[in-house]
Amino acid sequence: DIQMTQSPSSLSASVGDRVTITCRASQGISNYLAWYQQKPGKVPKLLIYAASTLQSGVPSRFSGSGSGTDFTLTISSLQPEDVATYYCQKSGDFGPGTKVDIK
């Protein structure tokens, strides 16, 4: 079983800040990684798949990178509507999530 970890578990940043979330796989997974956003009380939403491909309709301030075991999700300029928990996923395993809020 592949274990997915995320860091940090939570963060607080100001509007306009650049935010980076890290996801690590316990073994190499090539670029087989997706990122999801779940706003409070809402359904999860796919942001990025194949580690770096932006899902249609997702704002360009979101980007993903990485390959192998280490991946990042970056929000280039944090907006109030980005308050959410972000999850990485490799097939049958989700990461524990990173909660993002506004300072």
Partner 1 sequence: EVQLVQSGAEVKKPGESLKISCKGSGYSFTSYWIGWVRQMPGKGLEWMGIIYPGDSDTRYSPSFQGQVTISADKSISTAYLQWSSLKASDTAMYYCARRVVVVTAGDAFDIWGQGTMVTVSS
* Binding residues vs partner 1 (CB under 8 A): 1, 29-34, 36, 38, 43-46, 49-51, 53, 55, 85, 87, 89-97
Of the pair 20, 55, the CB lying nearest partner 1 is at 55
CB of 94 to partner 1, least distance (A): 4
CB of 8 to partner 1, least distance (A): 14
What is the bridge-based pairing of β-strands 98-102 and 53-54? Answer: unpaired
Of the pair 31, 65, the CB lying nearest partner 1 is at 31
CB of 3 to partner 1, least distance (A): 13
Residue reference for tokens 């929000």 = 75
DSSP code of residue 42: S
One-letter amino acid identity for 75?
A: I
Of the pair 16, 43, the CB lying nearest partner 1 is at 43
Q: Which of 38, 33, 92, 88 is nearest to 66 (CA)?
A: 33
Of the pair 17, 45, the CB lying nearest partner 1 is at 45
Tokens of 90: 């490799």
Q: Which of 7, 8, 10, 15 is nearest to 102 (CA)?
A: 15
CB of 95 to partner 1, least distance (A): 8
One-letter amino acid identity for 73?
A: L
